[in-house]
Amino acid sequence: SSGIYAEYGKQWYQRRVRGPGCGSAPATVRASHLLVKHRDSRRPSSWREETITRSKEEALNILNGYLAQINNGTPFADLASQFSDCSSAKRGGDLGHFGRGQMQKPFED
């Protein structure tokens, strides 16, 4: 489920952004993502596909494939540039700097 990726993101944030033993969260963070939408997404279309028809399960399988490639050394930005359904693909998935409350709640959580 998407909870796997939420937990992975929290662990990554702890290691990379806050660091071990940090007290409070920084005022802003910089994040990148590789978005794979499915037919039940809030807006099931993207710059890559006018109408997205894949199931949530298919999207998760695709993400697992990308994660395996990343773990085997493929640069995240390369995959995000080619395959992300977000317009941030043009920047290798880079969402830039943002503070609390500036992103959609599911992403922020």
The rounded distance, in Å, linking the Cα atoms of 99 and 8 is 20
Q: What is the pTM of this model?
A: 0.67
Q: Are 32 and 80 in contact (CB under 8 A)?
A: yes
**What pLDDT score does 103 carry?**
76
Alpha-carbon torsion, ordered 63, 64, 70, 71, to 10 deg: 160
Distance CA 107, CA 37 (A): 14
Per-residue pLDDT of the chain (109 residues), as tens digits, is 445 555 555 555 555 554 445 556 678 888 888 989 999 988 898 888 889 999 999 999 999 999 999 999 999 999 999 999 988 889 998 888 888 887 777 777 6
- If residue 63 lies in a helix (H) or strand (E), which one and from where to where? helix 56-71
